Amino acid sequence: EAAREYEEIVARQPRAIEGWNELAGVWVRAGEFDKAWGVFRRAAGAMPGETTPWLSWTHTMVRTGEVEAGVRVAREAASAFPESTEIIENLCLTLAFADGAGAQELVDLHKRLGGLMAQGSRRPAAVFTNSRDPNRPLKVAFWSTDFRFHACAFFLAGLLTRLDRSRVQVFCYALNAPDSVSQAFAGLGVYRELRRGPEEEVAR
């Protein structure tokens, strides 16, 4: 009965992703995954040129444990929207849950995502006057809302603890309220809290 009601809703508002999400959710809760994926396929057809059906589709697959299928959908979306930062980021995130994702593919995808984000930036590039000495440690800043008890923090901690401190100097700019996990990051480099500063001050 709920599915019939949602079918009427998406018929009236085919370009509203909320209705499609709810309709797919009905079939997920009923254990009818193939029907749910069919709903998202229809949503993508009803919303050509929009990324939201693909993102919802992939996220739902991952949440239900259908990770490999989610990777296939994320790859299909990346082929359809090769210039979309949302879609490429979605593929990067989905591959993080997948077994057997190749390290080089992950590196290439993240470089591609970085390039797309740089192209879309409206802020002019900063001019740096620091030393160009190639033998000095490279200063690298990590800016995040997740230097706290959060999945991203656990991924990042693994990276930061393994960096060669003779080659890299770490700066952590935290946009979150501190907790016990934050204290651990404070020991991995220069740790600065920037929760409420004005945007221009934070940029400086």
Residue 130 pLDDT: 82
Residue 140 has φ and ψ, to the nearest 5°, of: -125, 125
Question: What's the token pair of residue 196?
Answer: 């409420």
Distance in angstroms (rounded) separating the CA atoms of residues 159 and 185: 11
Residue 56 pLDDT: 96
Distance in angstroms (rounded) separating the CA atoms of residues 9 and 32: 20
Residue that has been written with the tokens 């220069």 in this structure: 190
* Nearest C-alpha neighbor of 42 from the set 69, 71, 67, 11: 11
The pTM of the whole model exceeds 0.75: no
Give 141-199 pLDDT, tens digit per residue.
Answer: 998 999 999 988 988 998 999 999 899 999 999 988 889 899 889 889 999 988 776 77
Q: Is-contact 149 179, C-beta < 8 A?
A: yes
Helix axes 85-96, 103-119, angle to 10 degrees: 160
Give pLDDT < 70 ranges for the chain: 197
Residue 203 pLDDT: 73
Question: What's the token pair of residue 191?
Answer: 């740790």
Residues in the chain: 204
Residue 78 pLDDT: 96
Q: Is-contact 119 157, C-beta < 8 A?
A: no
Residue 199 pLDDT: 73
Nearest-Å Rg of the Cα atoms of the chain is 21
* Nearest C-alpha neighbor of 74 from the set 111, 46, 106, 114: 106
Residue 7 pLDDT: 97
Torsion of CA 140, 146, 147, 152, to 10 degrees: -80
Residue 198 pLDDT: 75
Classify the phi-psi angles of 79: left when phi > 0, otherwise alpha if psi is within -120 to 50, otherwise beta: alpha
Residue 127 pLDDT: 82
* Nearest C-alpha neighbor of 84 from the set 105, 113, 104, 111: 113
Q: Is-contact 184 203, C-beta < 8 A?
A: no
